[in-house]
Structure 1
């Protein structure tokens, strides 16, 4: 094709048809430019299709992560809402002259002092998306903002959890070990092991009457309240994310 164009130009020059040559040359340039533009357009179109397909793959995988994270937050909220009444029961029992519930029930509630719910976000797909530089292929700006807001909330809840884990390790656990019958409490934490009962009832009564005991319970309640708020917040963000991604595929 290039050889044909060259032969035509040479023939026009040899015949002295300069004006026709210039018109032909200009037309040839225009044809080449149009060809380049068409090729670029086809390439951009092909790249756009490739990006949309890749976007769909990422979003489908992220949707599974968001659904999993939503279930995690719901499970954590359910756990917290079960433990809060246990702590309130301990406060109520501490105000009585003598607890009116069985000692094993008290020990079961004491064991909840030593546990801490942890929200661990599944973010493998998101990390791959960001690490590969493909985050830019997400076309919806609103969805990008929702994803960014979610991971900001994850950073916050992880910070809150680390703070409260330190309170558990530095304040609550030492108090239980130093002041209570840890063996009796441990029975409810080590389900896989057979442990003999050790119900030091008199010691339990004495400890429950102390101001330190009530302070520990209030500390635990404040921790649970904080974690409940954080998990409810991240649950709502997760629900919005799931809805946004599902809408993308409608």
Structure 2
């Protein structure tokens, strides 16, 4: 095609047909511009295709991460609930210590309430990598970008709440580090001593007197309040946010 136009141009110049040559030159320029625009359109289409493929990879990875985090959060909510429910049972026995069946029951309640730290550890490696590398902009859905950004700040808020909860738990545990109470009794009666390879005492010291302690009651009440607030004001809203993120991601993935 270009050879043909060059031949025509030479003939027009040789024949000194200036007006026709000008029209030809304009036509040639138009063709060149059209060619450039077509090339740019093709390049742009290729770039968009690459971006969409990259976005799909990110979306699938994010979906896997949030599904795993959702399972973790469900388990954590269950542990936290068991913790404050058993704590409430202990407080109830403080009102009526004679209703407590035996030392075994108290040990089980204390162990279930305070043996496990409550800490949410979501799978955020891909999301953090995207944020740090600026790849979050590759997510085309603006609503999803906002949800993912808010997710990080929500996790930071929950971490602060869990720190408060941990402090309340430690106040109670510290009361068993004194001469008045016995961690060893709790270990022996719940089977922890055997798991740790520790000898089981033939005679266990009783922890029943702690039910008469006003300090213990105060600490228990603060722990219960903080535990319930952690669930209702933090974990439950976080679960709702996670479900919305997963629903939005599913709507963007092209299966």
Deviations 1:93-114 (A, max 9, x none): 1122535222022112222234
User: Which structure carries more relative contact order (alpha carbon 8 Å, separation 6+)?
Assistant: 1
Scaled by the length of structure 2, the TM-score of the pair is 0.87
Q: How does 1:1-250 map to 2 (within 5 A)?
A: 5-111=5-111, 112-169=113-170, 171-178=171-178, 179-187=180-188, 188=190, 192-195=195-198, 196-197=200-201, 199-201=204-206, 204-229=207-232, 230-249=234-253
Scaled by the length of structure 1, the TM-score of the pair is 0.89
User: How far apart, in 2, do the equivalents of 1:45 and 1:221 lie?
Assistant: 58
User: How far apart, in 2, do the equivalents of 1:109 and 1:31 lie?
Assistant: 84
User: How far apart, in 1, do the equivalents of 2:167 and 2:194 lie?
Assistant: 25
Deviations 1:23-56 (A, max 9, x none): 1111111111111111111111111111111111
Long gaps (5+) in structure 2: none
Contact 2:107 2:185 in 1 (8 A): yes
Contact 1:73 1:232 in 2 (8 A): no
Contact 1:61 1:125 in 2 (8 A): yes
Contact 1:113 1:220 in 2 (8 A): no
User: How far apart, in 2, do the equivalents of 1:217 and 1:167 lie?
Assistant: 8
1:10 Cα offset (Å): 3.8
1:219 Cα offset (Å): 2.0
Long gaps (5+) in structure 1: none
1:89 Cα offset (Å): 1.2
Q: Tell me the secondary structure at the aligned position of residue 195 of structure 2.
A: coil
Contact 1:114 1:173 in 2 (8 A): no
1:150 Cα offset (Å): 2.2
Residues 144, 236 of structure 1: CA spacing in aligned structure 2 closer, same or farther, 3 A cutoff? same
1:61 Cα offset (Å): 1.1
Residues 54, 190 of structure 1: CA spacing in aligned structure 2 closer, same or farther, 3 A cutoff? farther
**What RMSD in Å do the two structures reach over aligned CA positions?**
2.2
Runs of 4+ with deviation above 6 angstroms: none
Contact 1:9 1:21 in 2 (8 A): yes
1:4 Cα offset (Å): 5.8
